[in-house]
Amino acid sequence: MPVMYSFMFWFSVRLGSIIVAIITLCQVSAGLITCAVWVNDLSGVSRQLDEWLNNNKLYYMRSVLINMEMNPKSFLDGLITFLVIQGITCILLVYGAYKINLYLVYPYILVDLVRLLFVSITFVIAMTLVKENVFDLGVLIGGSVIGGFTILFLFYLWFCVVSFCQIVKEVEKIKEVPTLSNDGDYYQKQEGGVGINNGYNLPLGKPYF
């Protein structure tokens, strides 16, 4: 059963998937620009990491940050590689949603799930460290609320694409049925099987893609 049938209460999940790809592509572009700035100032990155190590209680993250401080370029190269791969999956998602080709959509679902898990774990760790180092309850509450809603929104975008795939599979299963009575608002009987009425595939057409 699909998680959702519309995106932002108005758009179809097909158009929503294209919008999600564009939003993610903007995030990827911002990440690549940031990484490019950091690559050109590796010494500054190392100094910032060293300052964090000296001035904060980092506990289990200390060894990770020490490794990053010693070789920030390797870390940035890995991050840039991941962002480039994600950018490619966004382009595939746009074309896959437009052509209703799920094989072009699956890479985005997998790569973005990895990103969401990484972001979620990083957020939990960051809030734990803030609790230990910043003695201001307002900062902790504000960061938790803003970060939590941001992650929920990112998962909402991801579930839109997942729902698009689920609905396409449901429609394909229905098409395999020899006949179907014309009871629904969005289906009509056609010679040779079930068809989808004209409004269904319009960019803003409802319900689903």
Domain spans in the chain, listed from the N-terminal domain onward: 13-169
Per residue in 25-37, pLDDT (tens digit) is 999 999 999 888 8
pLDDT at 17 over 70: yes
List, in order, residues 6 or more apart from 209 with CB less than 8 Å away.
12, 13, 14, 15, 17, 97, 100, 164, 167, 168, 200, 201
Residue 54: pLDDT band with limits 50, 70, 90: confident
Per residue in 160-183, pLDDT (tens digit) is 889 888 888 887 777 766 554 455
Q: Kind and range of the H or E element at 43?
A: helix 42-55
Least confident among 37-41, 55-59, 64-68: 55-59
Per-residue tokens: 116: 């969401």
Residue 22: pLDDT band with limits 50, 70, 90: very high
Task: Give yes or no for a contact between 97 and 21, defined as CB atoms under 8 angstroms apart.
Answer: yes
Place of tokens 């299963």: 173
Strands (E), the chain: 187-190, 193-196
10 Å Cβ neighbour count for 15?
22
More confident residue, 134 or 198: 134
Residue 119: pLDDT band with limits 50, 70, 90: very high
Model pTM score: 0.74
Q: Tell me which residue of 100, 101, 150 sits closest to 122, measured CA to CA.
A: 150
